[in-house]
Chain A
Amino acid sequence: MEKYLFLGAEAIGQGAIDGGMSGVYAYPGTPSTEITEFIQGNLLAEERNTHRNWSANEKTALETALGMSYAGKRAMACMKHVGLNVAADIFINAAITGVNGGLIVTVADDPSMHSSQNEQDSRFYGKFAMIPILEPSSQQEAYEMAREGFELSELTKVPVMIRITTRLAHSRAGVERMTVLPENRLSMPADPLQFILLPAMARIKYKGLLASQNLFVKLSEESKYNSYKGGEDKSLGIVACGIAYNYLMEHYPNDSCPFSVVKISQYPLPENYIRRLDQECDEILVLEEGAPIVEEMLKGFFDKGTPIKGRLDGTLPRDGELNPDLVAQALGKELSAGFIVPDVVAKRPPALCLGCGHQDAYLAMNEALADYSKGRVFSDIGCYTLGALPPYETIFSCVDMGASITMAKGAADAGLVPSVAMIGDSTFAHSGITGLLDAVNEKSSITVVISDNESISMTGGQDSSAFGKIESICIGIGVDPAHIHTIVPLKKNHDEMVRLFRSEFAYEGVSVIIPRRECIQRAASRKRNKQ
């Protein structure tokens, strides 16, 4: 059988295509981006005309996916963990409406915060919404779960979550494909009231979701992704979730693990396996990537049962991603030391690319801000967040998508005038527009800098949904056109930029300055592809 060398993210993309998906909806975010990019580059997706354009944000993505499910077809929404916060409203409510065509919500978490502002665990959301969660331990499982997840969703009548973490998303392995399933035909929901969450109807739907929980547990108990493997040594039982299973097995090649192991890749927890482990073993070690969710459940508030070891008792670190070394330590195994890193090695943090337009914007802003006290620039999520680091040190916040504008407004409301927001073009389209509307309605004294590189750059240069529309959006929501300025951020325009920033910082009202120059990485790749 031919094997394909797929990233975990790509395996999900291929699995979804082979599972009969009619549309993927997503906003780029590391480590989830490659799922949608893979589908965008796939021949079968092109032949089938599978929907695969980027959405403006995760909320619109998931809502649109639910609309496709309403119409009977199979859809997937993909996002990074913090993207699910943006889509949380629709995510929780979609569990109550349920689905018509199969709906998978794939969420990629980033423990250790390689490219994120937190390391929240999306399994909490899955549990919160009370829907089945699939957590692959390998690229092959990722493929199969995406392929079969639609069917599971149609069987359980709720959305199904696939939860992966950075390591699986961004690690390649050989994957075997299976037969390609056909797409669903267009079909209306059997119950025309299914998607109307008026309180009277929502109460009925919610009771239905609660009543389904036993089925979900039963499906987990029978799932091919979960297993119980008995061991000779009963002093310890191990629960290994998702990719943590690999870190465990790494230390016991050729099936040599002496302990009983419950492998968990489908939730809710398979109660049969967990109970058996509890009965048979003296202690239980929980290995899970992310937050100690399973550990907390097994431990319980009073912690009076079988001793539970994991992230809460210090057997493993409370934060950060797992790795084979940490798991070895938890198992009491000795580590090889390797060699020591010599002192001469300096840190090499990421930085703005040479020639990037954000640099020119920051240099001009710094000069124009020299007249004011420090700490007035609120920023956002994107390459320009690197402006917090030397040599710029221009910005003083990076919290969530769009918060630059709203935090600047709040600070201005408090009397910090002028306050400045620094936001990128795609982040503005994602979550900045409504905040700007608030500021316009109250004539807040803020200057919004929309640093427009005509691309979603940090994630690899995807199309920004605000491309070519930023000025008209700003005018449309009521920014005075006399205070909307566009400038090309180049060294030769430095003095002009400084003058512009100075005059708009002094203006008592909402102004928008748009330094616009294409991302140099995107320009370079466009040139390469032309050749």
Chain B
Amino acid sequence: MKSDIILAGVGGQGILSIASVLGMAAITGNLNIKQAETHGMSQRGGAVYSHLRISDQSIFSDLISSGSADLILSVEPMESLRYLPYLSETGYLVTNITPFVNIPNYPDIEKVLEEIRRLPRYIAIDADAIAKEAGNSRASNMVMLGAASPFIDIEYSKIEDGIRTIFARKGEDVVNLNLEALRRGREFAQANR
């Protein structure tokens, strides 16, 4: 198996929490993983991305080749489009639809969503609203991971275990909230794919 995933968002939105859950799931599943992150200047509200590669074979490059990502997982709609050159012809784009507006020239959100809908395979999800229904809008990143989970070649239970490990320090309530967010995201994607 192989999953090449581009994670996208804005500095401060916490895309690395998604990466750490998937990383934990991969490591406990005895899979190989490489995950290139953005640190430094861009973390101050700039565009940030992470290349996450999971495979049962050896992985050499820390970066994904253009046209070969199986999935773009974005927590912000405009950011989901920035990395399209990486998406393979058969790849999925999974994105949150809530815009993060911190620039004066942020485009009309309808135009952004229109571009997303033009793609052959996408899931556009209101992760903030679903996270709120699950108990707290701060769990929106786990909603996003849930929505992407049908397209990632890792057992769902391993991802759940990843959440249990990563959030264990924060107590059972936080773990359960994030598991519920994950489940609701997954359900949405399965119903809307």
Q: Chain A interface (Cβ within 8 Å of chain B)?
A: 3, 5, 7, 30-31, 33-34, 114-115, 167-168, 170-174, 243, 245-250, 253, 323-325, 328, 335-342, 344-353, 383, 386, 458-459
Contacts and interface: CB of A to CB of B under 8 A. Distances in A.
B62 A338 contact: no
Given A250-B60, A325-B66, A170 B39 contact: yes
Interface string B54-71: 000111111111111100
A125 B68 CA distance: 37
A345 to B, nearest CB: 5
Contacts of A250: 60-61, 65
Nearest to B107: A344
16 contacts: A30-B39, A31-B39, A167-B63, A171-B35, A172-B34, A246-B60, A246-B62, A250-B60, A338-B84, A344-B78, A345-B81, A346-B78, A350-B43, A351-B44, A351-B103, A459-B40
Given A115-B39, A249-B61, A351-B45, 6 more contacts: A31-B40, A115-B40, A247-B61, A337-B66, A338-B86, A348-B46
Given A249-B60, A338-B88, A346-B78, A114 B47 contact: no
Contacts of B14: none
Contacts of A458: 40-41, 44
B52 to A, nearest CB: 9
A64 B20 CA distance: 36
B33 to A, nearest CB: 6
B39 to A, nearest CB: 5
B42 A337 contact: no
B37 A339 contact: no
A174 to B, nearest CB: 6
Contact of A172 (B37, B44, B60, B68): B37
Interface stretch (B111-119, B134-142, B151-159, B183-191): B111-119
Contacts of B73: none
Interface residues of B, number: 56
Main secondary structure of the interface of A (DSSP, over half): loop
A362 to B, nearest CB: 15
A63 B68 CA distance: 47
A459 B63 CA distance: 23
Given A247-B61, A250-B65, A348 B40 contact: no
A325 B102 CA distance: 31
Given A3-B27, A247-B60, A324 B41 contact: no
Given A5-B24, A5-B27, A348-B10, A336 B68 contact: yes
B82 interface: yes
B65 A114 contact: no
A328 B60 contact: no
Contacts of A336: 65-68, 88-89
A340 B11 contact: no
B23 interface: yes
Nearest to A342: B115
Contact of B66 (A338, A342, A351, A386): A338
Contacts, number: 160
Given A114-B42, A339-B85, A346-B105, A324 B36 contact: no
A114 B62 contact: no
B182 interface: no
A171 B37 contact: yes
Given A5-B23, A337-B66, A172 B35 contact: yes
B38 interface: yes
B117 to A, nearest CB: 12
Nearest to A333: B65
Contacts of A345: 78, 81-82, 107
A167 B89 contact: no
B41 A114 contact: yes
Contacts of A246: 60-62
A459 B40 CA distance: 6
A351 B69 CA distance: 29
Nearest to A245: B60
A324 B61 contact: yes
Contacts of B43: 350
A347 B38 CA distance: 16
A389 to B, nearest CB: 11
Contacts of A114: 38, 40-42
A456 to B, nearest CB: 12
Contact of B84 (A171, A243, A339, A347): A339
A346 B103 contact: yes
Contacts of B33: 5, 172-174
